[in-house]
Structure 1
Amino acid sequence: MGFRGYALDGGTPDRLVAGVQILLVDGRALPMFAALFGYGLVQLANRQLAAGRSPSQVRTVLRRRSLWLPAFGFCHALLLFFGDILGAYGLVGLVLAGFVLREDRTVLRAAVAGLVAHVVVMVAFGLLTVSGPKGDTPAAMADPIQATMMRLIGWSGMTPTYFAASVLPAFLFGVWAARRRLLEEPLTHRDLLVRVAVLGIGLAVAGGAPMTLIDTGIWAPSDLVAVSAYVLHSLTGVAGGLAYAAVIGLVASRVRPGRPGPVVRALSACGQWSLTCYLLQSMIFVAVFAPYFGGLSTRVGDAAASGVAVLTWLATVVLAALLSTGGRRGPAEALLRRLTYGRR
């Protein structure tokens, strides 16, 4: 496998799919969701303040909510997926809850510091990739007990380092954006959103191109150049993630108020059930790919596996649309809310 986890010996369709994902998805989607996570915490804080709670009480609620996410992440990694991101979200939210109510200058300074930490961590992981031992990922292990142990080891090591560094800067930029209601009032901030979208996607494509060539087997540079390309890919992915969030805001601004179509309603439902859908997707992937269940992980290439992923995502969108009628929350969302706020 290459730096981003795709097979280097796949066929032409596999390399094409891998190239598109490395260039446009990998390291770009995660910062987008991290920015939206930070944005959402500001919205949650604003609702708490509007209800008459003090800033210290608001921070307590944010930290209590964030504290439960690593518990969800631990169970996710224990049973399903070593690449869980819930633990990193919770860790960042727990440590940085206070920044949700801090002044803009402090938030932006912390975001820049987060970018520096991001680079340092990615350099370390890049060097480990070229020098460390190669072996099966937990998803390819036939022994379920061994796979479980490796998932927990990987999760406990990657959550406070790799994933936290990937989440940190975008989370803080999302906090800053929420202060200005960029996504809630996209027409008011259209010019800024357009600039972020164009510049961010341009940086992500330019910065991701070298890694795309390396991980599809087209280019085989020295280890130093490869690690540099890996770091550049990840760093510009932060810009790409923010750009994707801006694009979504611009697209949403064109939806007629009060009259969303069926596609928009379904996507909105999936967003409201995001935690449930995320966990459900992992359950399906284990059932389909794990060697001790469906066993497709070592029998299909990246193109076919990505096709299964797209179909799985579509299935969760449809399921959320069918079950979220009447404002019903997903089971994972309802549980997190219950744990955060209690019975009331």
Structure 2
Amino acid sequence: MAAASGADWTGPAWRVRAAVRAFRRAYPGVGDEVCVALSGGADSLALTAAAAAEFAEVTALVVDHGLQPGSGEVARDAAAAARGLGVGARVLVVVVTPDGTGPEAAARSARYAALDAARDGRPVLLAHTLDDQAETVLLGLGRGSGARSLRGMAAWDAPWGRPLLGVRTADTREACRALGLDWWEDPHNVDPAFTRVRLRREVLPLLEDVLGGGVAEGLARTAELLRGDDDELDRLAAAVSVAPDGTLDVAVLEPLARAVLTRVLRRWLLGRGVPSPTYAQITAIAALVTDWRGQGGVAVGGGGSAGAGVAEGSGRLVARRRHGKVVLEIDRAS
């Protein structure tokens, strides 16, 4: 990779830099010193160049997952390109341990953990683009997700910043060309075994063709609109208190709009030690409030601890309605 010489901050390159500048103005708490997660691809390389021009001190963090032949060389080249842009660079070698979530998710978890450990209290800029945002929303739509998923990625979710959510991937490539930067093409980005690759290369182009363009921008706009709605609903849900004994009062829950009620129940389950409450579980617990017919409890997980106020033991965790309360218990008879 060749470093930029005689930077040409016009056209797409300026759009990238302007996005970074706008991000810094929008979130002044980010400060003057940042890290950039650099893979060596066009998106992160263009972001690194723009960050170098807009922030006082930048450190590129290059994660080597070791999942592909030659990954070490790719990481070293990316670090060299960052240094050519006048920023510091560190290569972070990580071990990706399969955890049952799939290779993409496991690699992402390892990557974020490594970045968090290496950032030394500084924010980390990530090179997600408008195209990435559109794919995220489309995935959520296809999976029947609610606003929590369809809201997409946030521009600032400390310590992670995403200045390029309004920039197209095509612009980052053109920016690299204008700046004289050669980028690395990740073979995973063209491997149809990955769902996102098929969305990017097959589904989105088809939608753009059928709907006459503007689909990626429309999906990203949908995320922005839903984020505001979701934040307000979360605020309303957070105002509903849990009793000191960890129960929920049905009389308090009954008047709530369904969108608020389901959020209250999700927050309650998470706070009681249920790691990933499902749509079916939350809907069934909501029916204990809105459609009470004396039905039985709703199983929400395996045995163990369910937080303060729930006795220890083995068996299923079950949500039930008892004496005008929604309670979480361990069903030892299961």
Above 0.5 in TM-score? Answer: no
TM-score by length of 1: 0.24
TM-score by length of 2: 0.25
Which protein, 1 or 2, shows the higher relative CO under an 8 Å CA cutoff with sep ≥ 6?
A: 1
Greater strand share, structure number: 2
Greater helix share, structure number: 1
Which structure's CA Rg is the greater one? 2
